[in-house]
Each structure stands twice: as C-alpha cells, then as structure tokens.
Structure 1
Amino acid sequence: MIKTYLAERRSWLLFFAALQLLLLLIAYLDAAMPLCSVLYIVFLSALCFIGFFIYRYHRETRYYKQLLEWEEQLDLTGLAAAERPFERIAEAALTNQTERLRQSASRHLTMLEQEKDELLSWIHDVKTPLTAMRLMIDRMEDERLKAPLLYEWLRLHLLLDQQLHQKRLPFMENDLLIEQVDLEAVLFAEIKTLQSWCIHKGIGFDMDLEVREVLSDAKWLAFIVRQLLTNAVKYSEASSDVTVVSFVQDGHAVLEIRDTGRGIESKDLPRIFDKGFTSTGHHADGAATGMGLYLARTAAQALHILIGVQSEPGAGSSFTLRFPKRNAFTQMTGM
C-alpha cells in the first residue's frame, strides 16, 4: 500500500521538493539571505512534511486497505464507514453497485431454480410415455425390429437419467444416506438395465467379487457404476467381455471395471473427467456428450470415492472405484 500511496501523491512530493529547491536557489543567488538559515528552515519544513505525510498515509489508506481485504460476497457491513469526501463517493458507488448486483443475482437464482424445477418436472413427465413405450416394445414379436428399438429406448432412458442426476448433483449432500450397500445387487441391477444393449452387441460380463458390501449411498453409487458400465459397453468391441472385480487393497475396498475396447489416448487421460470433454482422437463422435465421467467423478467426490483409470489405445480401459475406510469415512462425515 505504501508504494501505491507514494505513486498517488507523487505530484505533491515533487511539488514540495521543487519549492524547497527553489528556496535554496534563491538563498544561494541572493547574498542578502543567509544560506545557513534557509537550510535550517528547509530542514525543519522537511521534518514537518514527513510527519504530516506519515499521518496522512495512515489516515487516508485505512479505508482502502479494508477494500483490498474485503471478501467480495455482496456484503458491505465489514467495511469501515467512510470519513472523507472521496471515500464517501467510493462508498456510495460501491453500495449502489452491490445492491444492483445483489438484486440481479437474486433474479438469476430464482430463474435458475425455476428452470431446474421445470426441467425436473419435464423429465418425470417424459418417463411416463417412456415406460409405456418399453411395455409396447416388450410385447413385440418381431425380434429383428425389437432389438434396435430396445437399444434406442435404452439410449433415451440413460440420457434422461443422466440429465436428472445432473440437476440433482448440486444438492447431492442433502440426499445422501450412508449405509452398507450390497455391491453385487447394485451391479446386477445396472447390468440388467443394459441387458438389451449387451445382447445387441454380444457383450458378456465376467464378475469376481471378493468384496460384496461397501459403505456408501446406494442410489448415487448406482449412478456412478451406471456411467462406468455404460462406457464399458459403449466402447467395447462386439462379442467381447467386460470384467468386473472387487478386492481389498491397503485396507480399502476397490471395484474395478475393465473393458477391451478402443482405449483412451495417453494425452486424453488427464482430461477425461473434465466437463464436456469427449476425445481428441474420436472428436467426430456425435454420440459422446462428455458428461458421464464428469458427473461420475463429481458424485464420487461427495462420497469420498477415488476414481482411477488406466488405459492404452486399442487395449481397453480399466476404471477403479476406491472406497474410503470405515473409520476414515466416519471421521470425514461425522457419522
């Protein structure tokens, strides 16, 4: 702040220095004026000016120091009251601007909440005809027509489910129920949902579950697993297998989902969990939304689950879910 204040008062400092030099120059040129007396006057003036300058520095910068330390949360109550005319001008401008920003933020928040509620209502409304459509597809006898219809129905169902959870994600912590979750039941339920797609591609599942129960939230864990299984089936070659194993590693329960699909480029691995990122090697893939892994990681972070990935192009991908230990989870959540 001292450098800023010196820069602000530079013209005043230069003017004072110029006046003192002018006084010394006159004393030097005018023999009638004793130079020693003038030097003494200049010295006393400089001391008085330095003291006055220090006093004004602390007085004038107090308000602006608080502005620098002010946390921009549209709350001016933490700022000291303005004492000087220019400070009052700044305070009035800040107050007016803050009030406008607060009103604007309130309007936008209301609009976002309304939009979210309308979208959630629309998703729930769409689920009714979607369920009826599934019942009609199940009654079809033509298997050649039934299989592609089931595949497209599943894609639509998964997209709606992803959108629904995306809107719920910011309020996820209000919806958590941490308990012992049957991992096998969650996996079988999600695999059953993808059954028609797997049959269409001829994909099977090889499961070996050493750990059958984990401490987590059943609904959100199912959502995370759904994203990983969907990606595994989507990018696996036809007539291949997806391997699902669970084991204990360093005291942590670990769930691993491996596929033998096209894999992920090494340059893409650090970005696959970024919002909206699809791929650099398959950028023209219009079916990819770049949201599945982002949502899975965001949900996993709230559950203190660590998602890892290993992949090589052409050799498939392996995603792992590393669950927290019970004592660590209890300490983090306060359970």
Structure 2
Amino acid sequence: MNVFKYLKDSYRQIVFFLLIILITDLVLISSVDLKKSLLDIFYLNILFFFVFLIFLAIDYTKWRNSYKDLKRALDAGENIDSFIPRGNRLEEILIRDIIELKNKEKLEETEKLKKNLEEINDYITKWVHEIKIPLSVCELIADKLEDEGQYDLSKELIQETERMNFLVNQVLHMSRASSYSQDFIVEEVNLSSLVKNVVKNNMNLFISKKIELEMGNLDFNIFTDKKWAYYVIEQIVNNACKYVDVHGKIKIQGEENDESVILTIWDNGMGIPEKDIDRIFDRGFTGENGRKTTKSTGMGLYICKKVADQLNFNIEVSSEVSKYTEFKIIFYKLSDYLKVTKM
C-alpha cells in the first residue's frame, strides 16, 4: 500500500496529464511570440504541476485509507468482513460483490459437506448398534464355554470381545466429534459412582493382568456431562491397564480445593517418553509406546482433549519412563458451561 504501488496503478492518468501539458505548451509556443511568453509558459506549467500534485496527493490518501485496513486484515489472516470498502467506486463495488459471491459459494459448500457428514454419522451409528449384536452373541458363547469348563478359551474370548466393544464405542464417540455440544447434558455427578462404574466395566482387564487397584477418597460431586466424563475416565483407565505389566499397580484418588475437584489416575507402567508427552493429545499420534504394543489408535486421548476443552475441565499428565504415568483430570467448580459450543 505504498506510494509507488499507487503511482504504478495510476500511470494512465499521469501520462494523460503530461500529454495535456505538452499539447498546451505546443499550442502556446506556436501561437505567441516565443521571446515574450516562454517565461509565462514555464510558470503556467509549474502551476499545473502543483495543482496536479495536490489532487494526486488527495486521491492517494483516499486510496490508501480505503484499502489499508483490508490489506492489514488479509496479511494478519483476520476476518475481513468489517474492513470491506464501503465506497461507490467500481472496484469497491466489485470487491463487495466478489466477497458476497464467494461467501455464498462457501456456505453452499459447507451445507453440502455438513449433510454428507450427517449421513456418514447416521450410518456409523446404525453400524455400531448392528455390530453390538454379534458381540453380545460372542459374550454368550464365552459364558457357555466357561460353563463347559473351557476357562482359558472363555477368558481370551471375553477379553477380545471387551476390546472390540471398547473400540466400537470409540468409533461411535468419534463420529460425534463435530457436534459434541449438541450431546452435552451438564448435571451434578458423584465422582465415586462414576469411577466405580468405569472400574466395574473394565474389571476383566484388571483380573487378566492381575493388576493391583488402589482407590482413595472419591466422594466428591462435580458438575459435568456424565456420559462424556465417563468416556474420558474410561479412556485413561483403559490406557493404564494396557501399559502396565502383569501384577502392575493403578491408583485412583480424588482431592478438592477451593477452585476444583481433581481426579488422579496413576500407574506404574512403562511411562511416556519425554519427547512424546507433549503430543499424546494430537490426532492419530500413537507414540513410541503405541508402536511397541500395536494396541493404540491414537484417537482416544485426542477425543478426551476435545471433550475436556468443550466441557471446560482440564487434563494434565506427567510421566517418567519405566516408572510411572499420572493423569490429573481437573473439574473446575466455576466452569462457564454457557461457553459450551459446537466444535
């Protein structure tokens, strides 16, 4: 938006002015006595140039003021709606028309994409409910095998069925990633009841690896969405079970301060390498541990972080390789649930 850019854009007007001056001078020179009028013609040219420079400066100032805010917004990647030129010049009218047309095209494209995503989500939801039927049958078969004394086979089948159920539920939750806020119901929830349900539904993981579970005081009430809070806690507990060795240990406890209720989930598993710890909430990131065990999809903690951001609670993690991993879920007492918005 400098003066050289303006002069380059205005070169036709400048050339036109110079031609007018040249023609005027030629006419005056040919029609009067040169000796008597040369100085007058020179003064006249200076006057013309001075007036032209004034008009040029005024036009440049208007031109710069019309577009400088728009240019700054474009360079900064800001929203340009409030900086659209409002003048009646042809180029300003064209800019407004182009922006309006592109906004209309983008809106139509967005609506089409939204409709396609809704169709995919509907299909995934139906598929999840359909796949749960054969999984339930597998659970019945496992129970029958146990009744027949085939305990090892029944145990393995139950473990794999539970893992499939866990992954199927993860697919269902992921399909709702674009509309979490439409699924939120914030209410008062007892933390102890929530954690015990998680442990109960993952009991076979604890039993199969003979994991020692230590539970501290959890008798606190939190304000959150029960279903999604359950999902976050289950993801972290499930990960703890996956990454501890046989006869490992998991500790779950709560504490309260003036601002929040903090749920701590600690395990003595393989730990998270320092180079991975800042990326564990990234979409699709499996890390060194995920590649070792081949049990990670890289989506569980990603969804947890998105849910936490929308429900205004926080997840902190600390770890040391081969020693421990500790997750802290911080449920704030004064969360502004009016800020729960669509992702």
| TM-score bracket, shorter-length normalisation | 0.7 to 0.9
Kindly report which structure 2 residues correspond to 1:324-335, keeping only aligned pairs within 5 A, or say none. Answer: 324-325=332-333, 328-329=334-335, 331-333=336-338
Within 5 Å, give how 1:137-216 maps onto structure 2: 137-141=142-146, 142-216=150-224
8 Å Cα contact 1:116-1:167 kept in structure 2 = yes
Q: Does the alignment pair 1:53 with 2:61?
A: no
Q: Deviations over 1:81-129 (max 9, x none)?
A: 7642x55665665555444433333222211111111111111221222
1:111 match: 116
Cα gap change, 1:281/1:161 in structure 2, threshold over 3 Å: closer, same or farther? closer
Structure 1 match to 2:244: 236
1:210, 1:102 → 2: CA distance?
48
- 1:302, distance to aligned residue in structure 2 (A): 1.8
| Structure 1 unmatched runs, 5+ | none
Contact (CA 8 Å) 1:63, 1:82: kept in 2 or not? no
Q: CA deviation at 1:160?
A: 1.0
Q: Counterparts of 2:62 and 2:277 in 1: how far apart (Å)?
A: 55
- More displaced 10-residue stretch of structure 1: 38-47 or 64-73: 64-73
Aligned position for 2:29: none
SS at 2:145 equivalent? coil
Shift of the alpha carbon at 1:171? Answer: 2.1
Please give the alpha-carbon distance, in whole angstroms, between the structure 2 residues aligned to 1:72 and 1:333: 25
How far apart in 2 are the matches of 1:100 and 1:73?
17
Equivalence for 2:30:
none
Shift of 1:46: 2.5
Cα root mean square deviation, aligned: 3.7
Could you tell me which runs of 5 or more consecutive residues in structure 2 were left unpaired when the two chains were aligned: 27-33
CA displacement, residues 129-178 of structure 1 (integer Å, 9 cap, x when unaligned): 22232222222221110111111111111111111112223322223222
SS of residue matched to 1:317: strand
Shift of 1:307: 0.6
Q: 1:132 and 1:308 mapped to 2: Cα distance?
A: 39
Q: Which moved more, 1:312-321 or 1:48-57?
A: 48-57
Q: Tell me if the contact between 2:67 and 2:85 (Cα under 8 Å) persists in the aligned partners.
A: no
In structure 2, which of residues 115, 121, 131 is the aligned counterpart of residue 126 of structure 1?
131
CA distance 1:42–1:305, shift in 2 (3 Å):
same
Is the contact between residue 254 and residue 263 of structure 2 (CA under 8 Å) also seen in structure 1? yes
Residues 1-335 of structure 1: pairs in structure 2 closer than 5 A: 1-3=1-3, 5-6=5-6, 8-9=8-9, 11=11, 15=15, 32=35, 36-57=39-60, 68=71, 80=86, 83-84=89-90, 86=91, 94=99, 96-141=101-146, 142-280=150-288, 283=291, 285-325=293-333, 328-329=334-335, 331-333=336-338
For 1:102 and 1:218, the matched residues in 2 are separated by 34
TM-fit CA distance, 1:19 = 7.1
Q: TM-score, normalised by structure 2?
A: 0.80
TM-score between both structures, scaled by the size of structure 1: 0.82
How many residues are aligned here? Answer: 326
| Equivalent residue, structure 1, for 2:31 | none
The one-letter amino acid paired with 2:55 is: F
